[in-house]
Amino acid sequence: MAKSRNNLLGVGGQRKKLSRAEQQGAGTARNDDRKAAEDKKQELVRKMRERAAAAAEASPEQDAPAGS
């Protein structure tokens, strides 16, 4: 039987089976890792925005026409 490209059933993967402790809110170290990764991402985004803002402030001074 040929594979159907239009049938996306099951494409999302499977959910992880949660232990009783995880169901009650006492997550594993994986939750701490996820939080640390999110914090690093937020810090990186903040730095990139600061650099973009600094570049945007410096840009208009260089783009101004000298003869007009």
Q: What is the pLDDT of residue 5?
A: 66
Q: Going by C-beta distance under 8 Å and a sequence separation of 6 or more, which residues neighbour residue 19?
A: 28
Q: What is the pLDDT of residue 25?
A: 73
Q: Is the pLDDT of residue 4 over 70?
A: no
Both tokens of 52, joined, read 């973009």
Per domain, the residue ranges of the chain are 26-60
Q: Which of 19-28, 40-49, 57-66 has the lowest mean pLDDT?
A: 57-66
| pLDDT tens digits, one per residue of 51-61 | 999 998 887 66
Read out DSSP for the chain?
Answer: -PPPSS--TTTT--PPPPPHHHHTT---HHHHHHHHHHHHHHHHHHHHHHHHHHHHHHHHHHHS-S--
Taking the model in full, what pTM does it have? 0.46
